[in-house]
Structure 1
Amino acid sequence: MNPVLHGLAANPSLPPELIDRLITMADLDLSSELATRTDLTPTQLTTLAARGDEIAVQLAYEGRLTADDIDPAVHPYAALALLDEGAGRQEWTPFLATHPTTRIREKLAACPDLPPDVVRTLAADPDIKVVAELALWTTGETPARLARHPHAEVRRAAAANDSTPPAVLEMLITGEGLAPARQCLVCDREETPYVHEWSCPRPECDLPAGAACDGSHQSTVHEIQRMALLNPTTPIDAAVRFADHPSMLLRSALASRPDLPPGLGAQLAKDPIPGVRADLAENPAIDDSLIRTLAADHGHDVQRRLAHNPNVPLDVLADLARATRIGSTLLPRIAAASPDETVQLAVSPDPAVRMLLAQRRDLPAAIRDALAVDPDAKVAKSVAPHPGLSDTLLRTMVARHGVQVVAGVAANPEAPPALLADLTRHQPPVRKVFREVARHPHAPAPALLACLTDEHARPLAAAHPNLPPPVIAELLTDNDDRVAEAAASNRSLAPTVMSVASLRFVP
């Protein structure tokens, strides 16, 4: 379908009669685009839903189709979407639980509040994927029962379900008090012993890389243990025995637990694998002493992950800001800084610390303005998009720091039109400025025309309502499909032009 028609389908100003015209000619992709509109009539919604399951599911999940609109025999996936949202009808579930399509039964097994008889039917399903999906999502007594299932894949799913009782999770993670599993997905399909190669040449094969079974279902047992370690319901007393396990994945799962004991954290801080120590570093459960130990750890990603720990002390965070590349992100500890701490950060002699604070967008006016005139360009760049900065301060930042801050200034939501136009004429030019200006709601027409000269900003500018209507109309025939589609979606496009385009670009 022509990109102009897709653009028109998304245009909020498209007249009702043109919506009907597009629905009449729409293929599946265009129907999906039209289904996102919020101004469709019930008749239009019903027509689009009839185009296929994908559209019906989309509309059901958005709450724009109700149980009265759905026949589960015609649109089973839409019925499942409503059941998943708690808006379906329980009388549908017996029919869906015995549907010949496995995928439908599998999706039903993930729905909440299923009737007991339907749960029993799904638990006895001949396809193990359906039973495993039920084990992952079901509540009540069923998770405990399915945790004892003879198939290891069902046990793996039950180990990830936080409704599985703690005592049962302990059995799953330790294997104690539980009869060994008799099957797994590997020995279901392959003669054992078998190890699935990492680059399997069989396109139909969906076994995970490294899946293995020698009769003990070892790869699935490993996954059962990992799922149970990641499950916060699993008792920590059962989890701690994995601190010395040969598997790095299991030690990493243990390192991220919110109930990690301090002594065990200290042990994991000495783990030979940096990834385990990095998972530990970001864990809010670790104490101040362990945080300071990890702050001196130069293993890959340990210090960066520690900087994202919400409990990291500010003095440690200051050291981390100097030692590692944190990037343009608002750290949890900075976001939670008290008013007194905010003042302390703002007057830090270290520009790396002031730059972290400048990522906040709720700073008091005095601190915000002080950071705007900071002599360090990285600090100014970080605070440049902060709402509330005056035109004078924004221009002062550009005059002082030039190309280092112009894109940040262009991203400021309150940058006035005249300033945005001036930024597109900045010498030397900064390409990112054009993209920021092209998406800015205050961008004036002259600035948007300048943005059309940039390949990456061109589609953004074509969709901007402040672009002159004649220019928008010209862009409908642009050689770049992205630009043509964006122009067609522009709400400032004249209705007469939309009408002509809807006929001109019919496939």
Structure 2
Amino acid sequence: MNHVLHGLAANPSLPPELIDRLITIADTDLSSELAARTDLTPTQLTTLAARGDEIAVQLAYEGRLTADDIDPAVQPYAALALLDEGAGRQEWTPFLATHPATRVREKLAACPDLPPDVVRTLAADPDIQVVAELALWTTSDTAARLAQHPHAEVRRAAAANESTPPVVLEMLITGKGIPSPRRCLVCDREETPFVHEPSCRRPQGDLLAGAACDGSHQSTVHEIQRMALLNPATPIDAAVPFADHPSMLLRSALAIRPDLPPSVGAHLAKDPIPGIRGDLAENPAIADTLIRTLAADRGHDVQRRLAHNPNVPLDVLADLAGATRIGSTLLPRIAAASPDETVQLAASRDAAVRMLVAQRRDLPAAIRDTLAADPDAKVAKSVAPHPGLSDAHLRAMVTRHGVQVVAKVATNPDASPAVLEELTRHQPPVRKAFREVAGHPHAPAPALLACLTDEQARPLAAAHPNLPPAVIAELLTEDDGRVAEAAASNPSLAPTVMSVASRRFVL
């Protein structure tokens, strides 16, 4: 890989004549980099698309190629990308439905609005994965028919399709009212009984660890049930009996359902597996009583996950803030707090609670400034990136808390060039702050030069437009390819230097 040429290909200031030059010499990787540019002419786009299906697919999904630009016989995957986006031609589909490459037929099966005759062709495909892909994405009527397919893998896909009728999903999850499947991927490949042990070193194609069949296709039937439990279209009455199922995966799928009845939630709250209780704790459907029960659950990660429930009461959340490590994240309930609630949270005696509200980035100025002056470093660190903080507030924060807040202050979008330069001179140095300053749009040249002394910040600084052009040019010869590529992508790189580099650093 030629790092300088890849950097030039991404440089937004690259002159048109140099774009043409790079297209002329580009291999597949460089062509893909060039294809990401937004200033390409139609001729340049079609030239790049002709370099390979991967690039044509990229351009098709971005809406930068049309049906007129694609011949499905030459670039079937690009044609499929247009069909997937609803921009292809229906007359392509019969050809693609009988394409010799299974992957082509499989991708076609996932496309929307297929003609009925093409759907029938795909439903009868000799490769079961093509039929399964159709069952996963097709319409209600076809999904209902494929749900009774003799192959369990097709039924598994139909169980995941939200268009499958609820009555059919109930049959799939219970196994009642539907003939038993006759085949699965396991017995297609192995003599039964067979179990693919996790420690097995024999290559088994696409068989997952634990895949098993003793004639009942048990591992795939288990997956059918799991897919149906995860499917919101499956009637909850059919799902409830799985609260006592021996499979942890099935109980977990039930615990996260948005229509979970309170009585079933209460039952799952006593599950011996903490992961199930954690799944339940995050479920927005659980009621206040159950939330308070789970708040006292010391099982692994249950309390932390409960804190992420958007409906957790603020008094419970306040208790959780001191009982578990929530981390520096904006919790859904905090984001939804009313103005009065926000005032109360910011005035809490508990620094852990103030830290939670400090994660918001839409605080009233008075609350924001008060939190910026908080005596607790964790609170100040949380509010440091908040827009609108003055240089005085940012400097005072660094004076008060030192290295604990320097890196976060460097992320503030309104930090001035002077403040950013001061952060790079802080003693003792804070290496993470160099990385933040190097990526900050306000970073001045002196600060960026300081960032070049840090190995991880160096590529970021090399790409910064405020870096002096002469320094950028020097970095093109760096041994570290990341730095050279970043420098070549820098929009402040002189056009004459770009021209020389495009000739010098040939593929």
TM-score by length of 2: 0.99
Change (3 A) 1:31 1:202: farther
- 1:145 paired residue number: 145
Match of 2:243 in 1: 243
* TM-aligned CA deviation for residue 479 of structure 1: 1.2
Residue of structure 1 equivalent to 2:74: 74
2-side partners of 1:502 and 1:61: how far apart?
A: 29
Q: Which amino acid in the other structure matches residue 283 of structure 1?
A: N
1:216 aligns with 2:216: yes
Q: What letter is aligned with 1:414? A: D
Per the alignment, residue 166 of structure 2 pairs with 166
AA matched with 1:467: L
Q: Residue 369 of structure 2 aligns with which residue?
A: 369
Hey, what does 2:495 align to over in structure 1?
Answer: 495
- CA 1:203/1:216 → structure 2, altered by over 3 Å: closer, same or farther? closer
The residue number in structure 2 matching 1:453 is 453
Match of 1:426 in 2: 426
Deviation per CA, 1:299-340, whole angstroms, max 9, x where unpaired?
Answer: 111011100000000000011110111111100000000011
Post-superposition CA distance 1:237-296 (Å, at most 9, x none): 000000000000000000000000000000000000001000000000000000000000
Shift, 1:204, TM fit: 5.9
Partner of 2:298: 298
Correspondence list, 1:59-458, <5 A: 59-203=59-203, 205-458=205-458
How far is 1:449 from its partner? 0.1
Find the residue that maps to 2:456 and give its secondary structure: coil
- CA–CA distance in structure 2, aligned partners of residues 171 and 8 of structure 1: 58
- Aligned equivalents of 2:121 and 2:362: distance in 1? 54
Q: Residue 311 of structure 1 aligns to a residue in which SS?
A: coil
CA-CA distance at 1:205 after TM superposition: 2.1
Match of 2:21 in 1: 21
- Alpha-carbon distance, 1:441 to partner: 0.2
Q: Distance in 2 between matches of 1:201 and 1:193?
A: 18
Distance 2:280 2:186 in 1: 32
> Is the contact made by 2:106 and 2:130 (CA closer than 8 Å) also made in structure 1?
yes
Contact between 2:149 and 2:181, CA under 8 Å: does it hold in 1? yes
Displacement after TM superposition at 1:206 (Å): 1.7
Q: CA deviation at 1:164?
A: 0.4
Query: Which residue number in structure 1 is paired with residue 506 of structure 2?
Result: 506
State the Cα RMSD in Å.
0.6
What do the CA deviations read for 1:157-207 (whole angstroms, capped 9, x no partner)?
000000000000000000000100000000000000000121332346220
Question: What TM-score results when the alignment is normalised by the length of structure 1?
Answer: 0.99
The 2-side partners of 1:202 and 1:68 are apart by: 47
Paired with 1:500 and 1:235, the residues of 2 have a C-alpha distance of: 67
For 1:367 and 1:246, locate their aligned partners in 2 and report how far apart those are by CA, in whole Å: 51
CA distance in 2, matches of 1:420, 1:199: 53
Please give the alpha-carbon distance, in whole angstroms, between the structure 1 residues aligned to 2:404 and 2:140.
58
1:122 maps to a residue whose letter is: L
The letter for the 2-side match of 1:267 is H
Give the distance between the partners of 1:204 and 1:474, measured in 2 at CA. 52
> Separation in 2 of the partners of 1:293 and 1:185?
43
Matched ranges for 1:44-63 at <5 A: 44-63=44-63
Whichever residue aligns with residue 157 of structure 1, its letter is A
Distance 2:146 2:360 in 1: 47
User: Which consecutive aligned stretches of 4+ in structure 1 deviate over 3 angstroms post-superposition?
Assistant: none
Aligned equivalents of 2:342 and 2:377: distance in 1?
20
Q: Are the counterparts in 1 of residues 140 and 165 from structure 2 also a CA contact under 8 Å?
A: no
What are the Cα deviations for residues 434-453 of structure 1, in whole angstroms up to 9, with x where unaligned? 00000000000000000000
Contact 2:236 2:260 in 1 (8 A): yes
Contact 2:166/2:235 (8 A) holds in 1: yes
In 1, the alpha carbon distance for the partners of 2:363 and 2:24 equals: 52
Q: How far apart, CA to CA, are the structure 2 residues paired with 1:166 and 1:25?
A: 56
Q: Distance in 2 between matches of 1:107 and 1:372?
A: 53
What SS does the corresponding residue of 2:398 show, helix, strand or coil?
helix
3-state SS of the aligned residue for 1:187? helix
SS in 1 for 2:140: coil
Change (3 A) 1:117 1:37: same
Asked if 1 retains the 8 angstrom alpha-carbon contact of 2:252 and 2:279, the reply is yes
Q: Secondary structure at the match of 1:429?
A: coil
Change (3 A) 1:200 1:44: farther
Shift of 1:478: 0.6
User: In the aligned structure 1, how far is the partner of 2:140 from the partner of 2:436?
Assistant: 52
Q: Secondary structure at the match of 2:443?
A: coil
More moved, 200-209 vs 99-108: 200-209
Query: What SS class does the counterpart of residue 4 from structure 2 fall into?
Result: helix
CA-to-aligned-CA distance 1:19-56 (integer Å, 9 cap, x gap)? 01100111110000000000001111011001000000
Greater mean deviation of Cα atoms: 193-202 or 17-26: 193-202
Q: Deviations over 1:95-128 (max 9, x none)?
A: 0000000000000000011111110100000000
- Deviation of 1:2 after TM superposition, in Å, equals 1.1
List gaps (5 residues or longer) in structure 1. Answer: none
Secondary structure class of the residue paired with 1:141: helix
Q: Is the 8 A contact 2:270 2:277 kept in 1?
A: yes
Count of residues in correspondence between the two structures? 507
**One-letter identity of the residue aligned with 1:312:** V
